[in-house]
Amino acid sequence: MCAKYVQLTLLNVFTGVWSEIRLEQSPSEVKRPGETVKMSCIISGYSMTSYNIHWIRQKPGRALEWIGWMNTGNNAASYASSFQSRFSMTEDVPSSTQFLQIQTLTAADSAVYFCARQDTVSLIFFFLCLLPGH
């Protein structure tokens, strides 16, 4: 149940030939409206700086929304226009980790969040549920 809280449920999907590539998610969290969440995507099985990372979300019953992408190794993020204010993508190259941070969480942020390596089927799913109220 997520009443008055943000709940993150994190899963991994790996298939066939891509099984040597790993995207390790941060543990599940519970957040309140107005708080900040920082999701991580720890990469192993390849050099993180060789492929761009994309963040995508899907709200319940809605189409996928592209949040943006990280030019890995350069800490240079590009965002879709509707995600430029409260969303920020960062990276830590030594630990091969990508981050998506959302500030001032609202009910509109309730969605499944995906971290994806460009040109592959490896994904991380972040389920974010937030109901209105305090």
CATH number for 67: 2.60.40.10
For residue 39, what are the contacts with CB-CB under 8 A and spacing of at least 6? 8, 25, 26, 99, 100, 101, 113, 115, 126
Tell me what the pLDDT averaged over the chain comes to.
78
In this prediction, residue 4 carries a pLDDT of 40
* 3 in any annotated domain: no
Question: Do the beta carbons of residue 21 and residue 116 sit within 8 Å?
Answer: no
Half-sphere exposure of 64 (CA within 13 A, CB side): 11
Give the integer Cα–Cα distance in Å for 16 and 1: 34
Give the integer Cα–Cα distance in Å for 57 and 59: 7
Counted domains in the chain: 1
Residue 103, domain extent: 8-128
Q: Among 4-13, 91-100, 123-132, whose mean pLDDT is lowest?
A: 4-13
* 133 in any annotated domain: no
Q: Reply yes or no on whether the pLDDT at 76 is more than 70.
A: yes
* 134 in any annotated domain: no
* 2 in any annotated domain: no
* 17 in any annotated domain: yes
